[in-house]
Amino acid sequence: MNRRILPVPEPPATISPSVDRAHQNPGYPVRQRVSPPEGAPNILVVLVDDMGFGTSSAYGGPCRMPTADRLAAGGLSYSRFHTTAICAPTRVSLLTGRNHHSAGMGTVPEMATSSPGYDCIRPDTMATLPRILSGNGYLTGAFGKMHQTPMWEVGETGPFDRWPLNEGFDRFYGFLGAETNQFTPALINGFTPIEPPRTPEQGYHLSEDLVDQAATWIENISSLEPDRPWFTYLSFGACHDPLHVPESWRGRYRGEFAHGWNAQRERTLARQKELGLLPQNATLPDFDPDVPDWDSLSADERLVCERLMELYAEFAEHMDAQIGRLIDTIERLGRLDNTVVFYILGDNGAAAEGGLYGSANLVRPLNRLPATVADVLAQLDELGGPMTYPHYPVGWALAMNTPYQQSKKYASHYGGTRNGMIVHWPARITGGEVRHQWHHCVDLTPTVLEAAGIPAPDVVDGIPQAPMEGTSFGYTFTEAEAAERHTTQYFEVHGSRGIYDHGWVASALHNQMPWARPRRPAVPFAEDHWELYDTRADWTQARDVAEQYPEKLAELQAKFLVEAARYRVLPLDDRMQERFDPTAAPHPDVMGDRRSITLRPSMHGLREGVAPDMKNTSYDLTAEVTVPEGGAEGVLIAQGGRFGGWSLYISGGRPVYCHNLGGERTWVRGERAVPTGDHVVGLSLSYDGGGVGKGAGVTITIDGEPCGSGRLDSTIGFMFSMDETMDIGCDRGTPVTEEYAALPATNAYQGVIGQVRIDLAERTDGPSVEEQRRVVMATH
């Protein structure tokens, strides 16, 4: 069997046909399906979102994760495993065995450009791990976050080539994109957007649902074909913002973080040494001078920061408990012994996007709106519930990355790129040991293929394949002292960059951290300050030795450029928010240059990547409606949700417009009801101009006649939501306004909608490149 060509070619025919079946001799054998190699194991890859190296109890951290502890006790803990420093690039590397720029994912899909290393379009020459496994007889299922699909391809027009079911998975249940609400997620089953099976009031939570789905799938396929191995990719939205925790889990860590983030770093370091994850001479790098020490905080600031960290810990422990349920299911089925579990504790370092004091609603800082300690205090008892969209402060993120510097998004230092990983395989691995060989997420695919006894294919679906760029770490399963085989690796995200080479690390942070004050002017790449670390003697990157070894630094800088050219990292691109604008950073756009768009009543779930861009511009909107006898209530069109968005709906028979500015709502109400029969409800928004997120005048009309007007002092300028959608005839997900409680239960319009037409004015006041850069660096 030639497994290097997929699909595996059929053997040539050797039997001659007879004219009459009755005389057919020899007869034709039953056509057999491709089978995996004898004894091929099941594969379970569990990927946690936004968790730093020093977060989990298995890696010395304060978040109790008994399942991670259990798997570590029966498996191997890797002390030098690395990611790319940001989510989608890590995920593509994990599932292709290629570096993220090679696979086109030098950034997240929301920030794609036209450069080959950043266009977020995986080349066909780099088939995914599930495609290779399925072509070799494995059953494959993906559950949870899939952040590898270009955002302009997430609508009904596709194309669907890079959706999970066309990337090799037989089953997909989860969400596409960076994040989602854990209580009202934007779920997709296969290709179809669906509503969650229960409401928040009925106890729904996404982490629990994902494991329910994965466990049921494994049970079902194990019943149908008990000898056929499976590959399960379980990718949680936890512990990415929003930090949403079931009510019964909130309060479990009350008071456990009163010692603060400075002391936590010391505690975690000591525990990591006890666990054998660090050498005894390891020291902590200096704490970020732009982040306040815990003792300098006011009582209110400490209270808010404590409560948000408690929430994160509860989120993490709850997620780990769900993984425990899945492990128990696999064990009950008698399949745990020959299942390789890769429990990857973070797709990057802990996230520092919550600002210095955290936030109760991250949509606010994303749109240059103040997020204050007072805001969090006002919702202190609701934190973690459906009415909040919270994230914890920078100081706790840095503590969760102990013993390393920096955080998610920064590829220059190990705080952004070093993550815990546990491998559990009772049939092959003796448990309870630590492995110190240096490895990277690009190594997962070669390792899985080696464990399964499957070669990397030369041709997939008629396309010659590029060589694997990762190195299997399967040798470490049985050779504790083996010399490491992954000896050189570049890093780059948004201009921060570094390179590892045989124990040495050279790195350039590229500009200051977003929370640093005062702001300094951005510098060009050629003027970046480079640091040098000898991690053979300085495990934690605590001592910069660039001045002592200038020749070594120059050697590594040159090597970085060689690797960057080899893997499509060049040209370097440090732009941030402006990449959302296809005129500033060209990338495919479903709407193109159209300024007039007609939407149909069956259109739901339009992500911002495929919806008309209603920000920072004037527009006219008209909705054709039929009002039955007795009237009709409900949403005509809405975008976003509880934490930012807008909606046009009918309440009490009258048209109403609501603009939700990060939780601050302004209503414009019609002064008369829409009569029975066929009518056109209109909305005209006249944007003030002069910048981003400025004010606007609003007029509501019925059949072209004004029936109400009002004023918005400010508007959403950058993004309504990271996960909520534009919907016609209803408002899916969370509601733009709680006023919907007076509408029918589903908030859907109870009459008939013909079509909705949007006419956008030519945008003249969109965010400039420099303005967007200032906003992002200051707030996110």
Confidence label for 580 from pLDDT (cuts 50, 70 and 90): low
Of 2.60.120.200, 2.60.40.2480, 3.40.190.10, 3.20.20.80, the CATH number of 596-767 is 2.60.120.200
Q: Taking residues 339-367, what's their average pLDDT?
A: 95
Domain boundaries, the chain: 42-90+127-248+264-421, 496-580, 596-767
The answer on pLDDT for 773 being more than 50 is no
Confidence label for 778 from pLDDT (cuts 50, 70 and 90): very low
Q: Taking residues 408-431, what's their average pLDDT?
A: 96
Q: What is the pLDDT of residues 112-142, one digit of tens each?
A: 999 999 999 999 999 999 999 999 999 999 9
Q: Taking residues 365-387, what's their average pLDDT?
A: 94
Q: What is the pLDDT of residues 65-108, one digit of tens each?
A: 999 999 999 999 999 999 999 999 999 999 999 999 999 999 99
Instruction: Kindly state the DSSP code that residue 528 receives in the 8-state scheme.
Output: P
Q: Taking residues 421-430, what's their average pLDDT?
A: 96
Confidence label for 193 from pLDDT (cuts 50, 70 and 90): very high
Q: Taking residues 550-569, what's their average pLDDT?
A: 98
Is 496-580's fold the same as 596-767's?
Answer: no
pLDDT of residue 13: 85
| Tokens representing residue 663 in the block | 């939780």
To which H or E segment does residue 302 belong? helix 299-332
Confidence label for 169 from pLDDT (cuts 50, 70 and 90): very high
For β-strands 496-501 and 418-424, DSSP reports them as unpaired
Q: What is the pLDDT of residues 706-755, one digit of tens each?
A: 999 999 999 999 899 989 999 999 999 999 999 998 888 789 999 999 99
For β-strands 439-440 and 705-712, DSSP reports them as unpaired
Task: Return the axis-axis angle of helices 299-332 and 66-73, rounded to nearest 10°.
Answer: 50
| Tokens representing residue 341 in the block | 């579990």
- Residues contacting 254, CB < 8 A, separation 6+: 310
The answer on pLDDT for 259 being more than 50 is yes
The answer on pLDDT for 557 being more than 70 is yes
CA distance 687 to 675: 29
Question: How is domain 42-90+127-248+264-421 classified at the CATH fold level?
Answer: Alkaline Phosphatase, subunit A (3.40.720)
Q: What is the pLDDT of residues 729-740, one digit of tens each?
A: 999 999 999 999
pLDDT of residue 775: 43
| Tokens representing residue 134 in the block | 């399925």
Q: Taking residues 137-163, what's their average pLDDT?
A: 94
The answer on pLDDT for 583 being more than 70 is no
Confidence label for 776 from pLDDT (cuts 50, 70 and 90): very low
* CATH assignment, 496-580: 3.30.1120.10
Q: Taking residues 561-566, what's their average pLDDT?
A: 98
For β-strands 139-146 and 171-176, DSSP reports them as parallel
Q: What is the pLDDT of residues 438-471, one digit of tens each?
A: 999 999 999 999 999 999 999 999 999 999 999 9
Q: What is the pLDDT of residues 471-519, one digit of tens each?
A: 999 999 999 999 999 999 999 999 999 999 999 999 999 988 888 888 8
423-445 burial, b at 16+ Cβ within 10 Å, e below that, comes to bbbbeebebeeebbbbbbbbbbb
Q: What is the pLDDT of residues 695-706, one digit of tens each?
A: 999 999 999 999
pTM of the model: 0.95
239-260 burial, b at 16+ Cβ within 10 Å, e below that, comes to bbbbbbbbeebbeebeeebeeb
Confidence label for 771 from pLDDT (cuts 50, 70 and 90): very low
Nearest CA to 496 out of 551, 398, 420, 414 is that of 414
The answer on pLDDT for 577 being more than 80 is no
CA distance 240 to 181: 10
The answer on pLDDT for 589 being more than 80 is no
Instruction: Kindly state the DSSP code that residue 640 receives in the 8-state scheme.
Output: E
Q: Are 725 and 733 in contact (CB under 8 A)?
A: yes
pLDDT of residue 304: 98
Q: Taking residues 299-316, what's their average pLDDT?
A: 98
Q: What is the mean pLDDT of the chain?
A: 94
